[in-house]
Every structure is written in structure tokens, then in C-alpha cells.
Structure 1
Amino acid sequence: MEDYDILDTRDGDTRDGDTPDGPQPRPQSLMLAFFGNHVLEEGDRDLCVYSGSIIDVLGRVGVGEQAVRSTLTRMVNRGLLRRQREGRRMYFGLTPQATRVLGDGRTRIWKQGAVNDDWDGTWTLLGFSLPDSWKRRRHDLRSRLTWSGFGALYSGLWIAPGNVDIAGAVAELGLTDHVKVFHARADVATDIELMIRDTWDLESVAARYVTFDKRWTAHLGADSGDDPIGTRLRLVSEWLWTIRTDPRLPARHLPPAWPARPAEDTFHHVADRTAEPARLLARDLLDTVPTRPDTD
């Protein structure tokens, strides 16, 4: 189970050493961003895209043909994409597994605000104890918890703002018997802002927003004529990298001038400007076919 690792857009595997220098997108993450933009967002999940079209689009953001082909094969083997042959051409579409992961990503990107103004004072606490030999399963659990807004209060006790429904994710990992979940409020003796600073690396989260905002504000200010498909693919990938470790902490407990809101405004400005041009270009550029029930 590495589903939510694919939403980490960085190149390499240094998951604990993020810097504010911006992401180095991985071909697999860009691939899913492509399918999210041009299949899932179009409301037609039962659609397959010709490999040549995928090579063309990802080439616009610097991914070479061989990297695209090897990524497609790897994602098919992981159950994230399905293949469908039409004559001499090979087409690729989303599997239910990839659709679920992209659906979660779509909620974070397009439906949830980057600033949590509606916190009701509750917290979700999750405690777990796993055998030392379960390193892979421990990593998978921590990946899901981080994506869901949790931070490590202590080594085996994680906390997230609000009432987070994490039971389904825990069950998918087969860890229900090893996890206990509680919903509670902090006692008046608890210094919530100190707890937040001890639990989450706010400087790192803020630096991501600042980096994103500077990069894309400069893009808006430039007289750039780059193609909207490539721009939108980079935009969504970088925004996902920016928000993926942000637990959406209560606004009232964040430092003054928290940079998430201006960065989000910039994201939506560029997204709105590129949405229709990218959609029109995709209609001309992408070779697609309906998914057959017998797809292997």
C-alpha cells in the first residue's frame, strides 16, 4: 500500500528532508496529475488515453519518452492504470484504486481551503503500536496520517484538528486491531499553540507556501506564452506538493500573516486563467477511446 506516496510530487525518496526550494516532480506524480486534469476532471473516468498523447503532454514539462513509457508500465503493474489495445496503439486509463486516490487529491486541491477558518475546537487522536518488524506498514500508516492532517504528538500518538474519519484508511491497511481513535477537546491547561509548534514544522509548511506564491506570482507577471496544458500540469503538481503536509491547522492558532491564503489566491488565479485554454487544447491534442469492460 503506497497509494498516498504517489501524491508526493518530489523526485527521489527523501521524504523526511523537504526544503523550500520547490519540488522536483516525479514522472508518476505528473502522470496522475495529467489523468486528474484531463480524465477525472472531465467527469469521464471510463476513458483511455493514447500513449503517444501522454508522451506529448509530459514532454512539455520535461519528461522524456522513455521515462513516460517506463512509468506507464510501472503504474500498470501497481494497479494504478489499465491498458487497452486498439489496433497497433496502446491506450491507458484509470483503475478504481487510482480514481480513489485522485478523488482524495481533488478534494484537497479544489474543495478544501488552505486555511481552516471553521475549526470547532475538537481534535482527533490516534494511538498505535506495531511490531518493530512492520516497517513497511508503519510507513504506510504514517503516510496516510500525514495526508489526513495528523502530526506526531508523541511517537505512537498522532493528532489532527477537527473530527477526522480515519477508520476507513486504517482498515484498508489492515491495522484496525492495532489502532485506537478518540475525539476530544483540549483541557484549559493545555497550551494549544505550543502543542502545535511542537507537533508540526510550521516553518517548513510556511516556506512551501512562500515558495509557491513567489514562483507563480512571477509567472502571472510575465508575458509568458507557454502552453496552458503544461502550465496547468506544473501548477497542480506544485500545489499538491505545497499542501500535502499542511494539516490545515485552526487559523486562530497560526502565526500572524500565515502565507497559505495569498498562495491559494495565486493558485486559483493561474488555475482559472488556464482552465478553458487547457481544456480546448486537450480536445484537439488527446487521442482517447472509451474503456472496454475486458481491459486487461
Structure 2
Amino acid sequence: MGSGATGAGRGARPTVTRRREVSDASARSLLTTVLGEFVLPQGEPVWTQTIVDVLGRFDIEEKSARQALARVAAEGWLSSERVGRRVRWALTPPGRRLLVEGAERIYGFGSGNQQWDGRWLVVMVSVPETKRELRHRLRTRLSWAGFGSPEPGVWVSPHVGAEVEAKSILEDLALTSEVMSFIATYGALGDVQRMVAAAWDLQEVADRYEGFIDQFSGLDTRTPEAALRAQTRLVHEWRRFPFLDPQLPGELLPSKWSGSRATQLFNDNHSAWKEPAQQGWRELLAQQP
């Protein structure tokens, strides 16, 4: 297959950012979901019109769908081949690898299921009040990495392995000379639940899970078309949670944590809808001349 102007080198890695992962629904993010859920497992090139048609089911206009294809191809996810007046798209090897990694993260994610040995990673970093933009970037990136801040300048995580990502963030922001880190257990003074409440807004995360449960409970998916729509939206919405939920161990979460129920609902629905959704995709492909 020719790579075309939008092709990517085999050694390149597609561009992806966490900001895009948690952005509002868009043509580009819906396209990413479709690529991972349907194009990846089928392993075959897909016509432009097929992408336009499936995104149109989510009120994405044709112009926006075509622009999304061009952007994703420019980022190295897709290569193009012209056949007469039409264009078809195939995943590049780097794009395929990235989607496989994303699928593993999405399908393997489960809130409240993490095993924990009781140890905390504590990162202390000092940024002057006058450097507000730097403080904002630090807060944003550490929050995306799952850290919480119970006190100014103090960041904590129950995942001690997150130190690798914290180090990368601090190096990017040129803050390694202003930081200290510790791995420790919580002592006899103070209340760990109060610290957790100060570090993370778990109520906001719980509300998002409740909304997910309301949205995907009791849907009518008796036709392949309905299953395709439901499965696409299900995965698209679930993709956000690994970046919204700090994935705390169960003993640190509120009782009756809605994330556990949402995880079960996602797994049950995704399994039940998978084959009819794939059938809906095959029917969509068959409609193309």
C-alpha cells in the first residue's frame, strides 16, 4: 500500500496527548474510538466514505469527519491510498501499536480494584508564587498522572511506581533541582481519609461514574446498527476515566464506590455488544461500492 502524502515512517510514533484524551466529544476523538474498536480488529483498509458515514451517526458533519481523518493521518496513525477518485486508509504500524496499547489500558482499567501495600509516594516540589504559568503546568500534568495535592507543594500517590512519570514531568519542566521524594507509610498522626479528601475531588469522579451508569443502563441494542452506535459511545465515554480517576485502592475510596459499578457495567455491556456491533460494522462496509 502506498503511503501517500499523509503516510508515516515505520519508525515514527504517532502523536497523542492526555489533553485530547479528556477533551469533549469531537470528530477527532470519535474517530480514534472507531479506529480502535472496529478498524483495528478487522485489519483491513477503510474507505473515506465509510468513516464519514459512521461519524455521521454521531452528528459529525462530513467536513469535520474529513478534517479529522487528515489530522489523524498527519499525526502518523494512518496511511492513505488513492484508488481512482476514492481514498482508503490503513493503520500504520505505529498507529496499530498505539491503538493496541490504548485498548489494553481501556479494557484493563477498573476503579477500586488495585492491590496496595500501604506505601505512599510523596513528592515535594517548590515553585514560587510568581511563576504562575509554571505552577499551573505542574499541577495539570501531575493531576493527569494521578497525583493529588493535600497541601501546597506536596503531591502524593498510592502508586510508588508513578515516581518514574513524576521524574519525567519534573525534567520536562526543569524542576528537578527543586524537588524531594519519599516512599513511606502513613503515620499515627492525622487521618488518612482526610488527607485523601483534601488531595482528590472524589465526589466529582463519582458523579461522572453515576452519569456513565445512567447513560448506558437499559439501552436497546437489538439491531446491529443500534449495537454499533451503543458500543462506539460506550468505549468513547469510558476512554476518559483512566485519566479522570486517580485509581485509588479500595480501602481509600468511599463506601459503595460508583466506579466499581461503572466498571462492571462497562465490562458487561462491552462483552454483550461486541459481536452485534462488529456485525453492524461489516454491514456498513458492505454498503460501500
**Aligned residue in 2 for 1:122:** 119
Q: Which residue of 1 aligns with 2:77?
A: 81
> C-alpha displacement at 1:7, in angstroms?
1.0
Cα–Cα, structure 1 residues 285 and 172, in superposed 2: closer, same or farther, change >3 Å? farther
Question: Structure 1 pair 160/108, CA: closer, same or farther in 2 (3 Å)?
Answer: farther
Which residue of 1 is the match for residue 3 of structure 2? none
Give the equivalent residue in structure 1 for 2:7: none
How far off its partner does 1:128 sit?
4.3
CA shift digits 1:228-253 (9 cap, x unpaired) = 22211100111223453111112112
1:271, distance to aligned residue in structure 2 (A): 0.7
- Within-5 A mapping of 1:85-234: 85-87=81-83, 88-94=85-91, 102-103=99-100, 105-128=102-125, 135=133, 139=137, 142-167=139-164, 171=168, 175=172, 177-179=174-176, 180=179, 181-219=181-219, 222=220, 225=223, 226-234=225-233
Name 1:3's counterpart in structure 2.
17
Distance 1:169 1:102, change over 3 A: farther
CA deviation string 1:96-141 (max 9, x = no partner): 77556645543332113211351211222334456877948963x5
TM-score w.r.t. length of structure 1: 0.75
Q: Distance in 2 between matches of 1:102 and 1:172?
A: 23
Q: 2:18·2:144 contact (CA, 8 Å) conserved in 1?
A: yes
Q: 1:64 aligns with which of 38, 58, 61?
A: 61
Match of 2:262 in 1: 263
Aligned-pair identity in percent equals: 30
- Cα deviation for residue 177 of structure 1 reads 5.0
For this pair of structures, how many residues does the alignment match? 266
Asked if 2 retains the 8 angstrom alpha-carbon contact of 1:124 and 1:161, the reply is yes
**Residue of structure 1 in register with 2:30 after alignment:** 30
Q: 2:241, 2:252 → 1: CA distance?
A: 20
Q: Secondary structure at the match of 1:218?
A: coil
Q: Match of 1:26, as an amino acid?
A: S
Give per-residue Cα distances to partners, 1:58-84, cap 9 Å, x unaligned.
11122111111122223334x253331
Shift of 1:160: 1.7
- Structure-2 separation of matches of 1:109 and 1:34: 14
Higher helix share: 2
Q: Is the 8 A contact 1:5 1:143 kept in 2?
A: no
**Match of residue 6 from structure 2:** none
Which structure has more RCO (C-alpha within 8 Å, separation ≥ 6)? 1
- Confirm whether residue 51 of structure 1 aligns to residue 65 of structure 2: no
Task: Find the residue that maps to 1:35 and give its secondary structure.
Answer: helix
Instruction: Return the alpha-carbon distance in structure 1 between the equivalents of residues 98 and 124 of structure 2.
Output: 24
Residues 51-60 or 155-164, more deviating: 155-164
- 5+ unaligned residues in a row in structure 2: which ranges? 1-14
Structure 2 SS opposite 1:164: helix
Work out which of the two has the higher radius of gyration on C-alpha atoms and give 1 or 2: 2
Provide the residue aligned with 2:11 in structure 1: none
Distance 1:49 1:135 in 2: 43
